[in-house]
Structure 1
Amino acid sequence: MNNVELFQYLLLLICGAGALTWLASRIAIPPAVVLLVGGCMIAVAGKRVPDMDPDLLLAAVLPPLLMSSSFYTAWKEFRQEIGTIISLVLGAVTFTTFSVASAVHAFNPGLPWAVCFTLGAIVSPPDAVAAKAILQRNPLPARLVAVLEGESLVNDASGLLLYQIAVSAALATTITVAGGTGLFFMLTLIGVAIGLLCGQAMCWVLPRLRDPMLGIVVTFVAAWASFGVAEAVHGSGVLSVVTCGLVLGIRQHRVFDADMRIKAKATWEAIVFVLDALVFILIGLALHTILARVNHEGAVLMAGLRVALPATAAAIVARLLWAFAAVWLPGRIRGRSPGARPWSFGEAVVLGWAGMRGVVSLAAALALPGNFPNRDLIVFSAFLLIIATLVLQGASLAPLIRLLKLRPSARRTMSEHEARVHTFGASLAALERTGKRTSGIEHTTLERLLAEYRIRVAANENAHAFGAEQVEHRARFLRVELDLVGVSREALLDLHRDGKVDDAVLHRIESELDLEELRLLRLLEP
């Protein structure tokens, strides 16, 4: 398949992804599941399916998806639940690795322990892309969403460390406890440091770019650059992108102007939609390459099932056990103390069940060295486990949430209407103060703000009738409105900084202020 054919093939995949996404909305099944099944069907029936390079998939597709997820992460909730997230990132990943390895070895005693641990490490970390694709369609308590998204964004380092240790052991390469610990901290610290540097660099560059389109391109470059640089210096590319996205997300309200924020949001949503769809189709298409190798040894098919079934059961059960033993039970004990917020039974069930594996696990499996013992068996088993978790857990998550009657937690911050009262009340107060200091004609103009649409028509009619003097009068009026938008924005950010409004309310009202600012700037253009 030449480059032109490959390009045409990708276009067909994008069109197919759109059709499958539409179909998923019609039959009320998560799009990720439908896309995955569609990719598998193409892989089984297709005769000309291109091989998927796992390194290219990680380097090209994953960074923008991670950047988008981390950019919109609710930082306050993430910080408040950091203890639970660390427990899952370190404890649950390690416990899952050992559980999968033990279950696989129990049903397949002939497999070396190092090979079993490698499979456990490959499938131990839940996937950020899969989690976002499933969770964004299911309203959940804010802290549960923060934990699930936060865990899936930062568990790369622990999973990759266990993976490297297991591969080294299987290939008879010596690695010590001290070396493994050093590797873990190197992956984490270098990744976070590169992400911080890239994020700070973007916060300096973006306000100095006058062209919004150029700024949007720079944000995409930042995603790929932070990943590539971190990988090049032997750090965690995933943690680097996530850190960069968190920095930009936290400071976006000061770094982005209204024009760039509106255009960037629309651009990123379109690109992320395409990449999200391609990821799950490409996972399904990977079956073609795997089957091409497995068909040379038909016994691998049955052996793969003997490995994949206990591995899948162990991975699901291990996460559920950890969610109850390390998250729900301590919360029950601490719940007796004043101010404690224990996890409910339903939240623990969803936390344990929402452990879908995805593109990172598949890429790790496909990246195994060619001389790795039982490589085809491990890759095939990992693929079956990924399919099982995405289809079984992904498709059943929404019904499970409805069965448990989980709803977004009671609001402890201002409602959207309360935030509007406070935000626009600040503008009204500023308007009243301005009115007391102005002359009669300007005061009359300010009073006309109460009938905004009538003034827009009258201002243009007066500009035509009275010439340059009225044009300048109208410009002063528009500049007053523009100043009031700035006052409202500052009041809104103060509310968010003080913890009185959550991120969802902040983004909705800020979008309205951005649109109003763009309208006024357009009217002020000569």
Structure 2
Amino acid sequence: MNNVELFHYLLLLICGAGALTWLAERVAIPPAVVLLLGGCVIAVAGKRAPDMDPNLLLAAVLPPLLMSSSFYTAWKEFRAELGTIVSLVLGAVTVTTAAVAVAVHAFNPGLPWAACFALGAIVSPPDAVAAKAILQRHPLPARLVAVLEGESLVNDASGLLLYQVAVSAALAATITVASATGLFFSLTLIGVVVGLACGEAMCWVLQRLSDAMLGIVVTFVMAWASYGLADAVGGSGVLSVVTCGLVLGIRQHRVFDAAMRIKAKATWEAIVFALDALVFILIGLALHGILARVNYEVAVLMAGLRVALPATVAAIAVRLLWVFAAIWLPSRMLAKRTGSQPWSAGEAVVLGWAGMRGVVSLAAALALPGNFPGRDLIVFSTFLLIIATLVVQGGSLAPLIHLLKLRPLARQTMSEHETRARTFGASLAVLEEMDKQASGFERVALERLLAEYRIRVTANEDAYALGAERVEGRAHFLRIELKLVGTSREALLGLHRDGKVDDGVLHRIESELDLEELRLLRLLEP
């Protein structure tokens, strides 16, 4: 397959991914599951698929997805739940690695221990891409979302360390506890330092750019640069991208202006959608190469099932046990002494069940050296485990959340309406002060602004203070405004069709109407 054919192939994949995503929405199944199964169907049908370098897949696709996830991570919740995240990143990953190795060796005693531990390390960390793709469609308690997203973003260091230890042991390389510990800390420290430096550099550049498109390009370039730089100097590329994204996410309100923020959000959403879709359909397509390497031999396929089944059961069971033993139970005991909010059983179940594996695990398996013992078996069983976790866990997550009746918890902070009332109230106070000193034409203009801001403040104060009836009244008023925006748009397009308005004026006014429509639709969201 030459470069032009590869380009056309990727375009077809994106089109197919769009169609499968549309189908998934109609049948209420997570798109990641439908995309994965679609790729598997194509692979089993024997369709030609390009051989993807796993390192290229990680370096090209993963950084933008991680940057997007970390950018939108709620920093306060992440910091508040850091202890729980560390427990999962260090404890759960390590215990899962050992449990998978023991379970696989028990059912496959001929497989070397080093290969069993390598498989355990490959499948132990949940995948950030998979977690985001499944969880972003379900409203969950903020604490639960923060832990799930935070864990999937930063568990790379521990998983990669165990992976490298297992590979070195299998290839008779000398590795000690001291060198392994040093490797872990170097991966983490270098990755975080490079990410901080890249994040600060990106913020410095963005504050000095007036062109929104250039700013958006900088954010994408820095996602890849932070990953590549950290990887080149012996750090964790994933941790570097995550740190870089967190820095930008924390400082975005000072770094971005309004135009850049709106354009960047739209651009990133479109590209992340395409990359998300490609990731899962490429995972499915990888089955073609895996089956080709084992020559479709029934004995090898059955051996893969004997490895994948105990590995999957062990990975799922250990995570559930760890969550209840190391997170849920201690939180109940701590709550009795301190009065803090404990983890509910429903939250613990979802946290334990949401351990999907994805592109990182598959890429790590494919990156095993060619002379690694049991390599084809490990790759095939990793693929089966990814399918099992995405289809079984990912597919059942929505019904489980519905069954447990998990909802975002009421928080001891101001409501959205009260926040708006306070925000607009600050502007209203400034206007009133300016009105006292104004005269003539300036006073007329200020009176119009005063009337508008008084309406905004009163509407939001009534919405949070006087209950549902006032909320519905405000919504009715907003729907009238939305209808007027549509009327203005039709009038503008009519003027353009009649040749009375040129394209430049059309686009400027249409952009203003778009922003107003987005504002009203946002205000109408429940």
TM-score by length of 2: 0.86
1:410 deviates by: 1.2
Residue aligning to 1:461: none
Aligned to 1:462: none
Partner of 1:102: 102
Looking at structure 2, the residues matched to 115 and 442 of structure 1 have their Cα atoms a distance apart, in angstroms, of 78
**Residue 368 of structure 1 aligns to which amino acid in structure 2?**
L
Partner of 1:346: 346
Q: In the aligned structure 2, how far is the partner of 1:134 from the partner of 1:296?
A: 31
> Residues 403-436 of structure 1, C-alpha deviation per residue, up to 9 Å, x if partnerless?
1111111122111101100000000001001111
1:267 partner letter: T
> Identity of paired residues, percent?
82
2:15: which partner in 1?
15
**CA shift digits 1:460-511 (9 cap, x unpaired):** xxxxxxxxxxxxxxxxxxxxx9xxx9xxxxxxxxxxxxxxxxxxxxxxxxxx
- Equivalent residue of 2:14, what SS? helix
Structure 2 residue identity aligned to 1:442: E
Q: Once superposed, what is the RMSD of the aligned Cα atoms? A: 1.7
Show the 5 A alignment for 1:272-421: 272-295=272-295, 297-421=297-421
Q: Deviations over 1:272-292 (max 9, x none)?
A: 000000000000011011000
Equivalence for 1:31:
31
The CA distance in 1 between the partners of 2:229 and 2:75, in whole Å, is 25
How much has 1:44 moved relative to structure 2? 1.1
Tell me, yes or no, if structure 1 residue 189 matches structure 2 residue 227.
no
Determine helix, strand or coil for the equivalent of 2:337: coil
Distance (Å, rounded) in 2 between the aligned partners of 1:192 and 1:408: 31
Partner of 1:142: 142
Q: Can you list the C-alpha shifts for 1:300-345, whole angstroms capped at 9, x where unaligned? A: 1110000000000000000000000000000111110233111000
User: Residue 75 of structure 2 contacts residue 250 of structure 2 at CA under 8 Å; is this kept in 1?
Assistant: yes
Q: Structure 1: 5+ residue runs without aligned partners?
A: 453-480, 486-514
How many angstroms apart in 2 are the aligned matches of 1:404 and 1:22?
27
Q: What is the one-letter code of the residue matched to 2:156?
A: D
Deviation at 1:48, TM superposition (A): 1.4
Query: Using the alignment, how far apart are the partners of 2:21 and 2:251 within structure 1?
Result: 33
How far has the Cα of 1:46 moved from its partner? 3.4
Counterpart residue number, 2:79: 79
1:109 Cα deviation from its structure 2 partner: 1.1
Q: Secondary structure at the match of 1:50?
A: coil
CA offset at residue 297 of structure 1?
Answer: 4.7
State how many pairs are aligned.
460
The match for 1:162 is: 162
- What is the CA deviation profile of residues 57-114 of structure 1, one whole-angstrom value per residue up to 9, with x for unaligned ones? 0000000000000000000000000000000000000010001001001111111111
- The equivalences for 1:242-257 within 5 A come to 242-257=242-257
1:216 corresponds in structure 2 to: 216
Per-residue CA distance 1:385-420 (angstroms, 9 max, x = gap): 011000000000000011111111112211110110
Structure 1 residue 441 displacement after superposition: 2.8
CA distance in 1, matches of 2:143, 2:115: 37
Per-residue CA distance 1:98-138 (angstroms, 9 max, x = gap)? 01001001111111111100000000000000000000011
Q: Specify the SS of the correspondent of 1:357.
A: coil
Query: 1:111 aligns to what?
Result: 111
Partners of 1:103 and 1:67 in 2: how far apart?
A: 35
- SS of corresponding position for 1:12: helix
Superposed displacement of residue 299, structure 1: 2.0
Q: Does structure 1 conserve the Cα–Cα contact (< 8 Å) formed by 2:131 and 2:152?
A: yes
Please state how far the C-alpha of 1:451 moved relative to its aligned partner: 5.9
Q: Which residue does 1:238 correspond to in 2?
A: 238
Q: Where does residue 120 of structure 2 map in the other structure?
A: 120
Which residue in 2 is equivalent to 1:467? none
CA–CA separation in structure 2 for the residues paired with 1:450 and 1:200: 40
Q: CA deviation at 1:357?
A: 0.2
- In the other structure, the counterpart of 2:501 is none
Amino acid at match of 1:310: P
Tell me which moved more, 420-429 or 47-56: 47-56
8 Å contact from structure 2 (residues 431, 450) kept in 1:
no
Query: In the alignment, what sits opposite 2:200?
Result: 200
Residue 49 of structure 1 aligns to a residue whose secondary structure is coil
Tell me how far 1:519 sits from its aligned partner. Answer: 5.4
Which residue in the other structure is 1:437 paired with?
437
In structure 1, give the amino acid aligned to 2:150: G
Structure 1 residue aligned with 2:468: none
Residue aligned with 1:337, SS:
helix
**What is the one-letter code of the residue matched to 2:71?**
F
The CA distance in 2 between the partners of 1:420 and 1:99, in whole Å, is 51
Task: Give, in whole Å, the separation in 2 of the partners of 1:227 and 1:92.
Answer: 25
Instruction: Identify which range, 90-99 or 335-344, moves more after superposition.
Output: 335-344
Matches within 5 A, 1:480-491: none
Contact 2:199 2:243 in 1 (8 A): yes
Which stretch of structure 1 is more off in the superposition, 315-324 or 335-344? 335-344
Q: Residue 336 of structure 2 aligns to a residue in which SS? A: coil
